[in-house]
């Protein structure tokens, strides 16, 4: 079999080259991963740019080239979190049934505990941002209202459709669900070997489903 000018044997199709992420993009990802680890450990307030840079294997000056200050780094972390949520759920078709709602809740819970460092960083910063002087205060306030409004709307639609009992308080139910999800994440982070988040949540949502289901 002959060899063409490119060095490959004629008659054979060369495998397509895998597209590599641009070097700058890979560096940014590594920096945000390092920041996630440091923020999970120390919180935003106590985290240092030097520690982030050291974990990422670059100088502080190099880190400042990508993120001029800690607030900019925090903003990039929150933006990445938004992008990950959007990419995971944007194209998801929500089934307007009680079973579909329970499935969505389990997907959301699973997403929250996919990565321990990201989960812990988010919870720590959420708690820190209860102070309105925290740079992430507005971001977490907005996400709180958005997620609760979305859950209330979904529950109300299921009540209207006759999937959920008419006497169920959509606002109270949404608050209960998010409280369970937040609490499970904290318990899992505290003792991951003892807390099986998804098993506990499965029991909870199944019991919840039986309790709120509309009966014909």
Q: Write the DSSP string, 86-113.
A: HHHHTTPPPPSSHHHHHHHHHHHHHHHT
CA–CA separation, 185 and 123 (whole Å): 8
Q: Where are the domain boundaries for CATH 1.10.10.60 in the chain?
A: 20-73
Question: Nearest 5 degrees, angle CA 106-CA 109-CA 110?
Answer: 85
For the record, the structure tokens of 54 come out as: 């050291």
CA–CA separation, 144 and 152 (whole Å): 12
Which residue bears the tokens 């840079």? 53
What's the pLDDT score for residue 202? 97
What's the pLDDT score for residue 216? 59
Contact 202, 180 (CB under 8 A): no
What's the pLDDT score for residue 94? 73
User: DSSP character for 131?
Assistant: S
CA–CA separation, 107 and 19 (whole Å): 30
CA–CA separation, 30 and 41 (whole Å): 17
CA–CA separation, 24 and 156 (whole Å): 45
What's the pLDDT tens digit per position in 58-105? 999 999 999 999 999 999 999 999 898 888 777 666 788 999 999 999
Sign of the torsion formed by the C-alpha atoms of 63, 64, 65 and 66: positive
Residue ranges in the chain modelled with pLDDT below 70: 1-24, 91-93, 216
What's the pLDDT score for residue 126? 95
CATH of domain 20-73: 1.10.10.60
For the record, the structure tokens of 130 come out as: 């209860």
In 3D space, the residue among 42, 154, 149, 28 whose CA is nearest the CA of residue 83 turns out to be 28
Dihedral angle, C-alpha 201, 203, 206, 209, nearest 10 °: -70
Q: Where are the domain boundaries for CATH 1.10.357 in the chain?
A: 92-212
What's the pLDDT score for residue 26? 81
What's the pLDDT score for residue 91? 66
92-212: CATH architecture = Orthogonal Bundle (1.10)
> pTM of the predicted model, to two decimals?
0.82
């Amino acid at each position: 079999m002959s060899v063409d000018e490119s060095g490959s044997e004629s008659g054979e199709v060369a495998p397509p080259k895998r597209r590599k992420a641009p070097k700058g993009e890979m560096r940014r990802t590594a920096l945000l991963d390092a920041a996630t680890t440091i923020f999970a450990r120390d919180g935003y307030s106590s985290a240092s740019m030097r520690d982030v840079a050291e974990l990422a294997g670059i100088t502080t000056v190099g880190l400042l080239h990508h993120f001029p200050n800690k607030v900019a780094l925090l903003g990039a972390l929150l933006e990445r979190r938004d992008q990950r949520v959007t990419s995971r759920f944007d194209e998801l078709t929500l089934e307007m049934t009680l079973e579909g709602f329970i499935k969505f809740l389990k997907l959301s819970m699973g997403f929250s505990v996919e990565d321990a460092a990201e989960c812990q960083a988010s919870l720590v910063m959420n708690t820190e941002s209860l102070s309105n002087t925290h740079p992430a205060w507005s971001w977490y306030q907005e996400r709180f209202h958005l997620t609760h409004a979305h859950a209330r709307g979904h529950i109300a639609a299921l009540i209207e459709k006759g999937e959920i009992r008419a006497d169920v308080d959509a606002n109270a139910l949404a608050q209960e669900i998010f409280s369970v999800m937040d609490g499970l994440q904290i318990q899992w982070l505290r003792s991951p070997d003892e807390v099986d988040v998804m098993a506990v949540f499965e029991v909870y949502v199944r019991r919840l489903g039986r309790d709120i289901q509309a009966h014909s």
